Amino acid sequence: MRDFFHRFLFAIAVTAVMNALDMIYHLATGWAVHLNYVAIKITVIFLSVWMITQFIGIGKQEGVVASIFSPFMFYIYYVFAGATLNRDVFKIDEQFWFFFLHAVLMGIAYFSAWNFLYSGNKRIKNVCFVITAGFMSIAFHALFLMVRWRIAGLDEETAASVFTLSALLIPMIAYFVGIITGILSETFFRRKIFGVGVTSLLPAGIIFIGTNELVASFFALLFVLLSCYIVYTFKKGLVVVHNE
């Protein structure tokens, strides 16, 4: 049961990072991103990654399989999803080459988490931690924005027009500055509490200063803590299981 829980968290981390990278790409290139689309993609990708992780395992070969199988399953969904998407408004991932883009993004997400688990190089582990925890926090923040707009009554078309890369720019800077500074603080002071404190509080402060939104900064604090919990928990459990 403990093994199941840690594999479940590993799948959540990989899925969140992949979707964060995908959303950033879509926003940077002017493609619409909206809550229904993201929710479906997260569900399909997560189930694919989790099934491979749970029933086959975690490793290099499994990572290659997940990087191909998960985007392929989403592409199959998208091809036959005419009834759930307004094709006149949302033309997303219609070209087949998006499958290859998603495979690359999935590979980055999977092998960042995998190398954080098993790499013997401290610098590689730190870089992979920054990628995994940072983009996971961004994914949570993007979902927070979309859910808040939905609660506020914005329809999909309006929410998609509001959701641009600039909406994520300050959170992106905040999360990466906070996580990197947290790693440096932990290394310098040699106490984990300093690293955790800086990693969580600094992004919240930057977001509050940059947006003047107390609610957003509070959730940013929660998102970083949640991301760090997920990463450190699956690392602790899966490394133990691997060693056994």
Query: Among 13-27, 49-63, 149-163, which is the least confidently predicted range?
Result: 149-163
Q: What is the 3-state secondary structure (H, E, C) of 206-231?
A: HHHHHHCCHHHHHHHHHHHHHHHHHH
- Structurally, the chain folds into a number of domains equal to 1
131, 105 contact by CB (below 8 A)? no
pTM passes above 0.85: yes
Q: Which domain holds residue 142?
A: 2-243
Give the whole-number percent of the chain exceeding pLDDT 70.
Answer: 89
pLDDT in tens, 37-76: 788 889 989 999 999 999 998 999 999 999 999 888 887 7
**How far apart (Å, rounded) are the C-alpha atoms in residues 30 and 24?**
10
Nearest to 145 by CA among 3, 231, 38: 38
- For residue 206, the one-letter residue type is I
- Tokens representing 117? 């688990």
The Cα-based distances of 59 to 21, 146, 162, 194 in angstroms read 21, 33, 39, 32
pLDDT exceeds 80 at position 243: no
**How far apart (Å, rounded) are the C-alpha atoms in residues 85 and 36?**
8
More confident residue, 43 or 83: 43
Nearest to 141 by CA among 202, 204, 195: 204
Q: What is the dihedral of CA 34, 54, 224, 172, to 10 degrees?
A: -50
